[in-house]
Structure 1
Amino acid sequence: MEEVEVVVAHSARATLRVGEVYLKVDGDAANAGIEARAMELAPVPTPRILWHEPPVLAIAAVPGTALGTLGGPSTASPAAWAATGAAVRALHDAPPPPWEGTSPEEVREELDRECAWLLENAALPADVVRRNREIADAALRPWTPRFIHGDLQIAHVFVDDDDEVAGIIDWSGAAPGDAMFDLATLTLGHEEQLEPLLAGYGDGADREVIRAWWSLRSLTVSRWLIEHGFDPDAPGCEFDVLRARMANS
């Protein structure tokens, strides 16, 4: 009998693994629909959809090994990071998905709201929040909407023994958006991997904007993480990223 493994579980969604099958249960049925459609449209390796009966999406496990984890070292080679960059570029060059993304104005409103919460709750020293808010401003410029993954964490990209991308998972955040956001999310807490990634990505990457997104993403996700039982203050995670950005600015 196959064991049931709880991969992640919180009030918004849960992911279970049974053998080589993942069952994703989402409180918002639209998220699973977006994920399924995005995987069909994306020109990169994605999990095979086995079936979809809202609120559950069943997908097959992808082969390979994750690039790494936030807060831990990446054991992937520079060649694997370059291959990842090439795959992300193929995604960004594809036609954007046919649903709305988030505008720079909406991102600004969210950023201001989350910074206010961090300050009101003394989650971080005020100077760390305010300085990173200043750094984040560089990301809040008009952008040409691209096909972005939307949650391209290092643990969501799997590479095989030949250093090629074997699969990219968790597509519920896919939308038209800023390409630099994907590159920043992928290298969050792994600044040393930015240049190998961009070697495969090619022209058009703006390093200042990517660094601004490191601050912006860390500021905007911290409250959600805290409220859902995760710790942004764990070593190498979001609060460390914010402290590092302040020290390096």
Structure 2
Amino acid sequence: MATELAARRAERDKILAGGFSMAQVDQMLDLLEGYVRDFPSKQWVLCHGDLSLKHIFVTADGQDGAAVRVSGIIDFGDWQSGTPVHDLAVLRVREPRLDLQPLLAGYGAPADRTYRRQLDLHTLTIALGSLAFCVDELDQPGIQRSRDQIRALVADLDAQCR
């Protein structure tokens, strides 16, 4: 995560170009410094790397098809070692309209505030990287989507501190 923090620092100008003020960028980098300090990676796991809905197969169980479960995940071409929250954070950035609560329950994630803070901070790291990429590509819809998501994440993180 220290490497990711360094990458976000190096992308400061791109984050500014994505619609944030210097004070907002400093606030986000401070949040990420806290992430590196407060959530050291003690357990590395195999992460998909670029998880999105197109990589997930689901199966409807039962006659009414109401119970849906993940039956497979494909395309591990971008696999990497990482923290257990990494793939959830990537999925949140790639699929921002997903309802988080059922996703967390299905993933077996802890329901406590500490886990949610870790996930939100990791998602912020990924979202800032996505914003920098969209700025490089001059992808205006991507910049707007990333900016909106980052603002919501920072607001949630601020609310968690109160």
Cα deviation for residue 156 of structure 1 reads 3.0
Question: Counterparts of 2:49 and 2:88 in 1: how far apart (Å)?
Answer: 10
Runs of 4+ in 1 over 4 A off after TM superposition: none
Cα deviation for residue 212 of structure 1 reads 0.5
State the match for 1:241 in structure 2: 149
**1:178 maps onto 2:83 in alignment:** yes
Cα deviation for residue 204 of structure 1 reads 4.9
Residues 1:244 and 1:204: Cα distance change in structure 2 (over 3 Å): closer
State the match for 1:142 in structure 2: 40
Cα deviation for residue 133 of structure 1 reads 2.5
Deviation string 1:196-224 (CA, Å, 9 cap, x unpaired) is 12222225571111001121111112222
8 Å CA contact 2:135–2:143 kept in 1: the answer is: no
State the match for 1:47 in structure 2: none
Tell me the percent identity. 27
TM-score (norm 1): 0.49
State the match for 1:199 in structure 2: 105
2:155 aligned counterpart, secondary structure: helix
Cα deviation for residue 180 of structure 1 reads 0.9
Matched positions, count: 141
State the match for 2:7 in structure 1: 110
Question: Counterparts of 2:126 and 2:75 in 1: how far apart (Å)?
Answer: 17
8 Å CA contact 1:138–1:212 kept in 2: the answer is: no
8 Å CA contact 2:49–2:80 kept in 1: the answer is: yes
Output the amino acid matched with 1:202: G
8 Å CA contact 1:148–1:182 kept in 2: the answer is: yes
1:164 aligned counterpart, secondary structure: strand
8 Å CA contact 1:111–1:220 kept in 2: the answer is: yes
Question: Counterparts of 1:172 and 1:217 in 2: how far apart (Å)?
Answer: 18
8 Å CA contact 2:45–2:83 kept in 1: the answer is: yes
2:81 aligned counterpart, secondary structure: strand
Q: Which runs of 5+ in 1 are unaligned?
A: 1-103
Q: Which structure dedicates a bigger proportion of its chain to strand?
A: 1
8 Å CA contact 1:128–1:242 kept in 2: the answer is: no
Residues 1:138 and 1:146: Cα distance change in structure 2 (over 3 Å): farther
Provide the aligned C-alpha RMSD in A.
2.5
Question: Counterparts of 2:108 and 2:83 in 1: how far apart (Å)?
Answer: 16
1:232 aligned counterpart, secondary structure: helix
Alignment of 1:15-30 (within 5 A): none
Cα deviation for residue 159 of structure 1 reads 1.9
Alignment of 1:127-166 (within 5 A): 127-140=23-36, 141-143=39-41, 144-162=43-61, 163-166=68-71
Match of 1:123 among 7, 14, 18: 18
State the match for 1:232 in structure 2: 142
Cα deviation for residue 112 of structure 1 reads 0.9
Q: Which runs of 5+ in 2 are unaligned?
A: 62-67
Deviation string 1:122-159 (CA, Å, 9 cap, x unpaired) is 32121443333233334324212111111123443232
TM-score (norm 2): 0.71
Output the amino acid matched with 1:239: R
